[in-house]
Amino acid sequence: MSFSRLGLRLAVCLLNISEARRKNLVEKIAKAALFEENGKEYSEVTVLNIFSDHDYNRSVITIAATIEKLGSAVLATCVEAFQVIDMEVQEGIHPCLGAVDLIPIYPLSEVGVEECGMVARSLAEKLTIQVPGCSVFLFGEADQPEKRSLVQRRKELGWFSRREFSSLKPDIGTTPNKRCGLTGIGASPYVMNCNVTIDSQDLSTGKTIANAIRGSNVDGLKGVQAMAFPHDGKIEIACNVESFEDQKTLANTKYVTYCILGHRYSYISPQALETHIQKVAHDQGIGTIGTALVGFTPQECKDCAEYALREKIGEFWKKREGIFM
């Protein structure tokens, strides 16, 4: 019997931190999610995955829990991260604003995106109280009443170039200090991260491909945001794949559909995304040499969360490959 049938309402946070080169610290940060203030281990929290990229100097920690416990677990993780990451000395090719750069919360089962937004906003307020100098901008369902998207907020804040915060007014908290930087907190339907490496060192070609596949492009893929970065001697097309609410059946096998609380969401499959990038790259006279799904599809995330919580596996990332092959 699945946890959703048992009535547990599950959500997940894909926590982005600006550290990947010190594995021991990344794991210490992740483990902080599993323990209450009294040191007792949570029974309704699991760390499903840790993805770290040396060139980006960025890690994504996937924390799944009941919606009632997720905020506290993520808060503990963030407090630990702010203690060990200093933005004044941080280096990496991926754009970032804060030591804890991004805290997106997504529904998995039996919980709506609106409630995830309330949890995200509450988390933002608690975090700015517990960590002096921590400052927050809100996006998605946490950004009321505007509900501005993460892309819109990042553009407003100068995500690609900003490291000076003296003139910035955050949504919650004081002017960001240089050590902590600025943290984005919000909620939306599930967003996957999927990266495809092209067989080229030409960044301008990578940017052309990224632009061609974006959902904002008339011929792009709905729900896809993309950027091109130098990575491991080649160019990587880094994609955010959004789940979007869809009231009709998409007459296209490229899209996968799932439902939560009567809401129907769709997203481009990782396989279809890779195939599309391969075609666009081929039109530029180059090939692709690898794909990395950072974490899970929405259904995979839900299945792993239910299994990990049922079996009481807090450090699921250590056992994932042996269980799901």
270-273-277 Cα angle (round to 5): 140
Q: Is residue 86 part of a domain?
A: yes
Do residue 150 and residue 43 come from a single domain? yes
- For residue 255, the cross-strand partners are 268
pLDDT tens figures, 212-261 = 999 998 889 999 999 999 998 999 999 999 999 976 655 567 899 999 99
Domain count along the chain: 2
Nearest-10 Cα torsion for 126, 129, 133, 137: 40
Q: Which domain holds residue 88?
A: 10-187
Q: Give yes or no for residue 322 having a pLDDT over 70.
A: no
pLDDT tens figures, 62-115 = 999 999 999 999 999 999 999 999 999 999 888 889 999 999 999 999 999 999
Do residue 57 and residue 183 come from a single domain? yes
Do residue 179 and residue 31 come from a single domain? yes
Do residue 131 and residue 207 come from a single domain? no
Nearest to 229 by CA among 50, 95, 51, 60: 95
Q: Is residue 233 part of a domain?
A: yes
Q: Give yes or no for residue 157 having a pLDDT over 90.
A: no
Single out the residue in 130, 157, 187 at which a domain terminates: 187
Residue 130: CATH number of its domain: 3.30.990.10
Nearest-10 Cα torsion for 141, 147, 150, 151: 150
Do residue 44 and residue 132 come from a single domain? yes
Nearest to 212 by CA among 297, 284, 288: 284
Q: Please state the pTM of the whole predicted model.
A: 0.93
Separation of alpha carbons 56 and 229, rounded Å: 9
pLDDT tens figures, 168-224 = 889 999 888 889 999 999 999 999 999 999 999 999 999 999 999 999 988 899 999
148-153-154 Cα angle (round to 5): 150
- DSSP letter at 172 equals B
